[in-house]
Amino acid sequence: MSAEPRINDRIRVPEVRLVGPNGEQVGIVPIAKALEIARESDLDLVEVAPTARPPVARLMDYGKFKYESAMKAREARKNQAHTVIKEIKLRPKIDPHDYETKKGHVVRFLKAGDKVKVTIMFRGREQSRPELGYRLLQRLADDVEDLGFVESRPKQDGRNMIMVIGPHKKKTARGQETEAGTA
């Protein structure tokens, strides 16, 4: 069954509760009379509530209605926030310079308004020392706290420890562009 409402001759009920083009109630009328009224006013008869007893039908320009609802849906999609999750992988025994490089990537992602999933991979005997990974994730979270906040706390997932950092709403580069555009 299609999601589109039935219109004009596709409405197969003996009578409908008719609503005029401006929202005024006309009353319960036979389908033939409702179709005649629609033809006279050069509008379509659209079934808006098929489950009601009797079904509710409205007089409207169906093409215009479809166009406007498509524009509303498009506008809603445009205003929707697109969340992108970037991933950074670290090891518990990371060199200070490598840490700074990875932290720079995290900072760049947060400034762009993306979430960052930080994964620490444990190998061999490192698995018996999860506190090293936890401390490293805490250090990273403290280093980037002015750009983002910890969305999900560090948690062990098999051989990996995972933490998600989300950007602060007002601190993103995209947010600054929209604020500058409105001022």
Q: How far are the Cα atoms of 103, 117, 164, 181 from residue 142, in angstroms, in the given order?
A: 11, 15, 13, 32
Residue 173 predicted with pLDDT over 50: no
Q: Mean pLDDT over all residues of the chain? A: 85
Q: Specify the pLDDT at position 2.
A: 60
Which amino acid is it at 128? S
Residue 174 predicted with pLDDT over 60: no
Q: Specify the pLDDT at position 101.
A: 95
Q: Specify the pLDDT at position 49.
A: 85
| pLDDT tens, residue by residue, 16-32 | 898 888 888 888 889 88
Q: Specify the pLDDT at position 68.
A: 87
Look-up: residue for tokens 């601190």? 171
| pLDDT tens, residue by residue, 56-105 | 888 988 888 889 889 998 888 888 777 789 999 999 999 999 999 999 99
Q: Specify the pLDDT at position 88.
A: 93
Question: In the chain, where does DSSP find H-type helix?
Answer: 31-40, 62-78, 96-111, 130-143, 173-182
Confidence of residue 170 (pLDDT cuts 50, 70, 90): low
Q: Specify the pLDDT at position 116.
A: 93
Residue 180 predicted with pLDDT over 50: no
Tell me if 52 sits within 8 A of 34, measured CB to CB.
no
Sheet with 160-167: strands ordered across: 85-90, 115-121, 160-167, 148-157
Mean pLDDT across 113-120: 92
Name the CA radius of gyration of the chain, rounded: 29
Instruction: Work out the burial of residue 156: count CB atoms within 10 Å of its CB; fewer than 13 is exposed, 13-18 middle, 19 or more buried.
Output: middle
**Cα 175 from chain centre:** 17
* Region at 90 (left for phi over 0; alpha for psi -120 to 50; beta for the rest): beta
